[in-house]
Amino acid sequence: MKALAQFDPEIFGAIEREVARQNGGIELIASENFVSRAVMQAMGTPLTNKYAEGLPRRRYYGGCEHVDSAEILAQERAKTLFRCVWVNVQPHSGASANAAVFLTLLKPGDTFLGLDLAHGGHLTHGSPVNFSGILYNAEYYGVERDGPLAGRIDMARVREKARAVRPKMISIGASAYARDFDYEAFRAIADEVGALLWMDMAHPAGLIAAGVLSDPLPHAHIVSTTTHKTLRGPRGGMLLMGQDFLNPFGRVAPKSGRVRRMSELFDSAVFPGTQGGPLMHVIAAKAVALREALSPSFRNYARQVQRNAAAMAEEFMARGYHVISGGTDNHLVLIDLRNKGLTGKTAENALQAAEITVNKNMVPFDNKSPFVTSGIRLGSSAVTTRGFTEASMRMVVALIDRVLQRPQDRQVQRETRMKVRDLAEAYPLYDFALA
């Protein structure tokens, strides 16, 4: 990093401060994680210089033989990890992977059915300010307000909604839903109404790969994911299919007239449909992360992520917090703070002052704006990478509770910040020399 420090000290300083923040605080944002040094090293290579539009061995540029090798490794490792027959590792992000799904399966104005953003869904699953809600007719299912399924999806209601709106596609997946999904039931509903089924496993992908959550690949027609979050790779996306099949839209190859397979349509939707040249340095880093995820140690990590989230949820409930759905199956915990007289914004700011990073989040049936919210979302993936255990998570919840009992008290925040730093020092993140 010496060259960067000398040439651009301002950027170097921003990086230096961010490294210090990551090392010195407690990271509980559910969509974040810490990559390994090997993944970082793969990203910082001259592969960034290479244009490679197209697919391995079928590029629009010459000189791609070595980046082809890297992409093929990423493809084969993803197929092995997720037990699937086809993968595209080129999407720049989860959102761009999702854009390719829409471009392939729907026409503008078509109806699809997804989880309501206010109930834990994702921006790209039909938000009116996102392309998915602007170009397509989004209908929603949600979670139950009360009863035995409070905070959970009732599949009978999903079926009722699907029968009413007759969507061409049903989406599963969420950014703030703490429970596993019943993929078999979703597929039965999709088949009943003649819809294609898409699972966005961006959040739980690592837990699915490790076998600690249900596998969508045998049931969904198409699965999208990010490669960061619980998969602990670089920021990026992928598309996967458990089974390939002839497309039901009658789309044919222009020269031969043969019916094209769905894998071909999705490949074309990624490039040239939604993006240009792939980021070959990121694809190499994806390959490294996928190799890591194939190791027994990653399965142990995923199980610990799940145990840590459960311990966190239990400790919050023991302290009188309203945990949505009464617990968690995955890596995240969603908390409704209204019974504590707090907003998500107030909680986020108070905890940030103590160097505990969370994000304010809408909760089901929220009466606050997305800029204020009634809740917070927390995740266990990043701290588990550092080595936190169930006991550590209970300590973290005790620190959070102390701050939230007196959210305006600067002295409490300062005292908690010192305890946070002591805890962070006990679980060092990187020996990362910037100079």
Average pLDDT over residues 357-384: 97
Residue 31 has pLDDT above 90, yes or no: yes
Is residue 381 within 8 A of residue 30, CB to CB? The reply is: yes
Pick from 277, 259, 242, 332: nearest CA to 29:
332
> What's residue 105's pLDDT?
98
Mean predicted confidence (pLDDT) in 130-158: 97
Cα within 13 Å of Cα(403), Cβ side: 27
pLDDT at residue number 434? 56
Q: Average of pLDDT values for 153-172? A: 98
Distance between CA 91 and CA 233 in Å, rounded?
14
Mind listing the pLDDT tens digit for each residue in 330-339? 999 999 999 9
Q: Which residue has the tokens 């909760």?
A: 363
Mean pLDDT of 223-233: 98
Q: Is 303-426 in CATH node 3.90.1150.10?
A: yes
CB-CB contact of 149 with 123 (8 Å): no
Residues of the chain with pLDDT > 90, as a percent, come to: 97
Q: Structure tokens of 395? A: 């300590």
pLDDT value, residue 373 = 97
Task: Render pLDDT for 49-77 as a digit per residue (tens, 0 to 9).
Answer: 999 999 999 999 999 999 999 999 999 99
pLDDT score at 435: 47
Q: What is the pTM assigned to this prediction?
A: 0.96
pLDDT at residue 155 is higher than 80: yes
Q: How far are the Cα atoms of 58, 82, 215 from residue 206, in angstroms, in the given order? A: 30, 10, 11
Q: What is the pLDDT of residue 433?
A: 56
Residues belonging to the active site: 51, 53, 200, 226, 229, 235
Question: Could you give the 3-state DSSP secondary structure of residue 361?
Answer: strand
Continuous H helices in 202-261: 205-209
Domain definitions of the chain by residue range: 42-293, 303-426
Q: Please write the tens of the pLDDT for every residue from 259-290.
A: 999 999 999 999 999 999 999 999 999 999 99
**Does 3.40.640.10 match the CATH number of domain 42-293?**
yes
Cβ atoms of 239 and 259 closer than 8 Å: no
